Each structure stands twice: as C-alpha cells, then as structure tokens.
Chains A and B, each alone.
Chain A
Amino acid sequence: MSQSVNQRSRKMLACTAEATAYQKAFGKELRRRVVEEQEPFAIVQADTPHEIFHAMDIPIITNQWWSAYISAKQLSSQYFDAMVEAGYPANSCKYCSLGLACTLANDPETAPWGGLPKPTMLVARLTCDCIQHVFGQWAEAMDTEFFPMEAPAWQDKDPAWFDHSKADWERVYQPDRIAHMVREMEDLISQLESKTGRKFDEAKFHHIMEQINVQEGYIWEAAQAIGKARPCPISIAEQMPNTMIPQWHRGSDWAVAHARKFRDQVMERIDAGLGASDNERLRLMWIGAGVWHDPGFYQSLEETLGAVFVWSMYMPFAGPAYLRDLKGDPMGALASRVASMNETLHLPPWMNGWMVSEARRCGIDAAVVLLPPDNRLSQSGTKLTAMALEEAGVPVLMIDADMVDAKIWDHDRMVAMVEEFLRHRGVA
C-alpha cells in the first residue's frame, strides 16, 4: 500500500503562516511552562470548557491537538502498535486514545516533548462510551485525577438549532442541561482552585466570553462571505488553521486580532476575485475531522477537475457553536456551548439539519464524508446526514478512513476514489 505521503497543502494567506508560527511558538511556550517550569496544567478534550482554564491562567493541552501533533510527526502507527502489544484490541477507538498510547508507550526518545509530565487533571465529557475508560486509564497511567463531565440527554430536538443558538440558547440547549453543566463547571473550578492554588477570576472570565463573541463573529462573517463568493477565496486547508488555532486561544488578544486579520484577508481576496483555485468548477464539502496526516489531499483534485473543498465544519461551526448573547449569565452561556458541541456534530437531527443548511448556503456540488471504521462517535449521524444531503440534491461519497491513523490511508487511492465518484455521479 502506498500510505500517506504527508503532502503539504498550498497556502495563500499571509495570516495562515502567522497562525502556524504562533502555534509553534505557543507550543514551545507551553512546553516551557509545563515541562521546564512544571506549572500545573490539564489535559482536556476539545469540547470541554477551556474558557475556565483561560480565566484561571492554567495551561491546557487539548487531547485532539496533542493527537494531531503526534500524528503530524508520523508517530501514530508506532504508538498504536505499542497499544496492541500491550494487549489492547487493534480496533480500539483511535481519535481519543493516541495520547494514552503515547503515554503507555513510555518512550521519551520518540515522544513529543519527551512525553508529557504529570498533569493536575484530565477533563473529558462522556460523549461516547469509550471516553471514561480511555481517560480513566490515562489518568491512572499518569498518576493523576480524571474529572469527567456528563453529556446529558437532549430532548429539545430543533433541526434548525443553528438559527437560534446565539439569541435563544436557553431554549435550544434546554434549561435543565445548562443548569447541570453550570453545576459541573462550578465543581471543576472548585477542584482546580484547590489543586493549583489559582483563583477563578470572574471579571476575566466575563471579558473572555465577550472577546470570544468578537473573535468568532469575525470568523462567522468570513464564513458567510466564503459561502457566497465565487470562486471560493481560500481552501479548507487555510480555513482550518485560521479558525482552529485562534480557537485554542479563544478570547485572548492575539486570537481576536488574528480572527480579524483573517477575515480581512479573506475579504480582500473576495474583493479581488481571487480563488483558492483558478479553476473552480466544483464546490466540495468535507464532513468529518481533518485528515491531519495528509493535508495535501484536499487540494489534490483542483487542477485536474477544478474540484475545490470549500467547506469543512471547523470554520462555519464558529457561529452556531460559539456565538452567544451573554445576557448577564456568561456561565450559562458557556454551559450551553459545552453541553452540545459534540452532539450537534454527530447526532440527528442537529447534524443533518445543519449540514444540509450549510450545503445550500455554500452552493455545494458534492460531499465527501469521513467514516472512521473504529470510532462510533465519529461515525455517528453520518448515514442519516448523507441521506439528507442526497435528498437535498447533493451527491455524497463516504470513505472509510481515520483522521489520525495513517495506516489505513492511501493518498493515491483516496484521491482516485473521489475522482471516480465525481465522474460517476456526473458532477465532474
């Protein structure tokens, strides 16, 4: 098999390199703080309330970022092999467990940063049944504590949730779920204060929440413009880092300034009529996590077919997932954000409702859906979403691949599969 060749993606915005450079510098700074200075820090899932840690000035390492970091260094196969050698089934969920695999491999010579030091705690929402087991064992392996957070059931099923999430979040995300998450976050703050000696700064938290609205507002504005623009000014390979990197630092001065800069550069390209490809004939939607080990995949059919991936969830999600009218209740607003971040991306009717709406908004010609074979959570909702998109006139290709496991990814085969699909469905 010709596996991932880790092809680079082509970048057009100056701010993309700046974001990448910032994150690289941040990585060094984070390493200095947690490894050299031995500051208290936490390992957290992406859908946990990072805002609390920011308000307490407690460094966090996001599991998904750490997984992507390990994957980008081409270490995922090695660590997953080590898991199997340790007796774990080879089909265990990959996305959540790469960090655990790295810890269990216990190989400071190959591990990024020589391996992570002992964190103050690990924090994860129980969005699928493997998470508490993975994080429980990871915490045990690191001789620290795991702070799980519930993923409460959701009865108020509004397919058009994204139209109301900013102003009417109390109803959309259900008052009892929000109240529950607020209580859990208060418990989290209490434990963090007790373990680190750092205090939760309410005024700083409020300011962060306001700044996040400003930051994500810029991203949302740019996403709206990208949806309307022909050609698409930038590919998803540039949308992702310019959304995600500031999102890791959400609410900071740098993040707000970068989001504004990104929006401005997107608008400049739109005004100048510049496209990610000068050959845009097809607008594609990518559904699923990014294929971190082969970012060049997304631009591989631009020249031959004029097929441009114009949509992935990260950038347009900024609006409905992050923007909240605070209404004097920033903790409630944050709870509404945390309580459903995963659910809206992986469960009907929220996932399919939003994806179909987004496909229409962005003039999508066809969609490609990632279907990780060993990850129920990442698979979840994809078939009903594919069906809904097809009903809306958008042809859908589902590909079996994993976002961090390069072993089952073959760049050439995947590109050929997409090309064949587009031709077969008469799109190309």
Chain B
Amino acid sequence: MIAIAGPDIPRELLLATARYAGPLDFDPERATPRASEWLESKFAPWARPLLETWAEGGYDGLDKVVFSRADDTSQRLYYYVCELQRRGLVGGPQPLNLDIAKIARPTSLDRTIAKLRELSDLLEASDDAIENAIADTNAERANAQAGQAGARVLITGSPSLNTRLADAVRSCGFSPSEVSLHDLWTDLGDPVEQGTGDPVAALGHWMYNRQSGPRGFADPARTLADKIAQAAPAAVVLWRIEEDEAQCWHLPAERAVLDQSGIPSLVLTRRDALARDGAPAEIETFLQGVAA
C-alpha cells in the first residue's frame, strides 16, 4: 500500500496503482518524545506526531510513502526519514519524494512532468490506469457539492489539525468553512485534462498549475479576496500558526483585503497549531459581537 504525506500529489496516479492508502493518519495531539529529538522547532507541527507514529511502527503496514516537494516540511521530512532509516533509528515503509517545480518557466513544467513520470514508472501505474483514474476523479469533482447551510464564517490561513476553531464557530450559530491538513493533502482541485494521449503530462500540468500553496506564486491576498467574493461570509477569521514561514509574508496585504471587504474579521497570528492558546474563546467573543 502507498500513502501520501504532503500536498499536490495527484490522487489519480495513486488510484492507478490500486494500492492507494490515503494520507498518513496520526494524532496531532500525541506526545512526540523521539520526534522532538530529531526535528527542529520550525517544522510544521504535523511533522512531529507523524514521525513519532512512524518511529513506533505505526506505518509498518505500508510499502511506500510519497512526500511532496510542494511543501518545505514535507520534503525536508523525507530527507530526515531517509536518514533515520539509514542509521537504523526507524523502520517502516520506503519514503519517496515527488519533485514539484512551480516557477513560471518551461523548465519547471518539464521537470515536474519528468519527475512524475519517474514516480509513475516506479509505482508501476500504467497510462491506461491513470487515464481511467483521471476520468473517475473528474466525475467526482463534477459531483462535489459546494455550499453549506447557514451564515458562514470563513476560517483561512494555516490548515487546521483539529476541530477546535470550527467548533468555536459552530457554538456561536455559524457554519465554519475551513481547510484542514487532510483537506489540503487530498484536495482534488480543478479537473485534469482527459484524452490527451499522455495522462502523466496532463497530471503534471495539473500539479504545476496549483499555485496557491507555500511554494506557489499565486498572490495570497488575491486568493483571499476571491474566497471572500465566492463565499460571501458573515465574518472572516485569518488564523496563522507560529511555524508558518511562507504565507505569513502576505499578512499586511491580507489585512488590507479584509479592511477593504468591510466584512467583520479577526486576525490571529503566531498561534498554537492545536488552538490550545485561547483562540477558540477569542473567536467566540468576536462572533458574539458579529451576531449582535
């Protein structure tokens, strides 16, 4: 079985192997004594519980895990796991790293496709199986239901590791709209072009065109403005964790977008990734004011 540990890894490729196990599962709140000895403080907070689970054999039933170059923690963790295995400190599945290049130049697109092709060969995913997976997943995309009932509160910024923020929103009678880490890693995104004759290249284009993550070149402030325009939320919570080192550079521009939108907003930065720092209570206080 093959699992993933990072964003922008095309599900179609994994479905085509018939061995896809989904994203690695872990308890984000677990103790991480061994992983904390190996990983430095600025790793994204999901890395420690994942590595701890790996070290205790929690993924031994898997054959391979695909990490992603589209996220710095994911790609860096790949090298750490390889090294820990080399030194006999952990066992478990074979780590793989999918190189994803996103600079707006043909060289980066070519590389992304080439590295995806290498991975599909390694995983023995045939072109026919990939093409079929593209068709199936496109159908799933088309059938995806958008929209939720009730006044929405957009929680944006860092991906969440638990439901504490969403629960706080619900407790005030609003409907939360947020992206969890699981959502991020399994996001289907836009449809993939079908019938090209080169399904790997089609997937490569799909990966290359996903520009909204930390290694992407999309303007997060514009992305936020688009999200607000689409969702028409009653309020926005911009929440970023202490370890965010990429998107946080757009905070001034994002504040400006929020100000211009006229929508009530709460900005929470440098926060605890597990929301144990009073963020839910702050959200509740904020939303009570919005409701009033």
Known A88-B252, A130-B245, A153-B75; contact A374-B38, beta-carbon cutoff 8 A: no
B39 within 8 A of A: yes
How many angstroms from the CA of A132 to the CA of B247 in the assembled complex?
10
B79–A371 contact, CB under 8 A? Answer: no
A86 within 8 A of B: yes
How many angstroms from the CA of A134 to the CA of B250 in the assembled complex?
9
Q: How large is the interface on A (under 10, 10 to 19, 20 to 34, 35 or more residues)?
A: 35 or more
Interface membership of chain B positions 242-262, coded 1 if the CB is closer than 8 angstroms to chain A and 0 otherwise:
110111111110010000000
The residue from B83, B107, B250, B269 contacting A183, defined by CB atoms under 8 A apart: B107
Q: Which residues of A contact B72 (CB under 8 A)?
A: 128-129, 376
How many angstroms from the CA of A380 to the CA of B108 in the assembled complex?
25
Q: Which residues of B contact A387 (CB under 8 A)?
A: 37-38
Which residue of chain A has the shortest Cβ distance to B216 in the bound complex? A132
B215–A132 contact, CB under 8 A? Answer: yes
16 contacts between A and B (CB under 8 A): A86-B252, A89-B251, A129-B71, A129-B214, A129-B215, A129-B246, A132-B215, A150-B108, A153-B75, A180-B107, A184-B105, A349-B79, A376-B72, A376-B245, A383-B37, A384-B83
A133–B107 contact, CB under 8 A? Answer: no
A352 within 8 A of B: yes
Which of B95-103, B124-132, B275-283 makes up part of the contact surface? B95-103
Q: Which residues of B contact A126 (CB under 8 A)?
A: 103, 215
Min Cβ gap B49→A in Å is 17
Interface membership of chain B positions 206-217, coded 1 if the CB is closer than 8 angstroms to chain A and 0 otherwise:
000000001101
B115 within 8 A of A: yes
B245–A88 contact, CB under 8 A? Answer: no
A228 within 8 A of B: no
How many angstroms from the CA of A89 to the CA of B249 in the assembled complex?
8
B40–A87 contact, CB under 8 A? Answer: no
B19 within 8 A of A: no
How many angstroms from the CA of A93 to the CA of B214 in the assembled complex?
14
Q: Which residues of A contact B20 (CB under 8 A)?
A: none
B249–A133 contact, CB under 8 A? Answer: yes
B240–A348 contact, CB under 8 A? Answer: no
Residue among B38, B40, B248 having the largest count of chain A Cβ atoms under 10 Å? B40
Residue among B108, B215, B249 having the largest count of chain A Cβ atoms under 10 Å? B249
A130–B246 contact, CB under 8 A? Answer: yes
The residue from A130, A150, A183, A380 contacting B40, defined by CB atoms under 8 A apart: A380
Instruction: Give me 20 other A-B pairs in contact (C-beta within 8 A), A137-B249, A384-B83 excluded.
Output: A87-B252, A88-B248, A88-B252, A126-B103, A129-B72, A129-B215, A130-B246, A150-B103, A150-B108, A152-B99, A157-B86, A348-B80, A349-B86, A373-B42, A375-B42, A376-B43, A376-B73, A376-B76, A379-B41, A379-B42
Q: How many residues of B contact A (CB 8 A)?
A: 48
Known A93-B245, A349-B86, A376-B245; contact A152-B101, beta-carbon cutoff 8 A: yes
Partner-B contacts on A (CB < 8 A)? 86-93, 126, 128-130, 132-134, 136-137, 148-150, 152-153, 155, 157, 159, 176, 180, 183-184, 187, 347-349, 352, 371, 373-376, 379-380, 382-384, 387
Q: Which residues of A contact B152 (CB under 8 A)?
A: none
Residue among B72, B115, B269, B270 having the largest count of chain A Cβ atoms under 10 Å? B72
Min Cβ gap B41→A in Å is 7
Q: Which residues of B contact A347 (CB under 8 A)?
A: 76, 79
Min Cβ gap A355→B in Å is 13
B69 within 8 A of A: yes
Q: Which residues of A contact B205 (CB under 8 A)?
A: none
Q: Which residues of A contact B269 (CB under 8 A)?
A: 89
B251–A88 contact, CB under 8 A? Answer: yes
Residue among B42, B43, B108 having the largest count of chain A Cβ atoms under 10 Å? B42
Q: Which residues of B contact A137 (CB under 8 A)?
A: 249
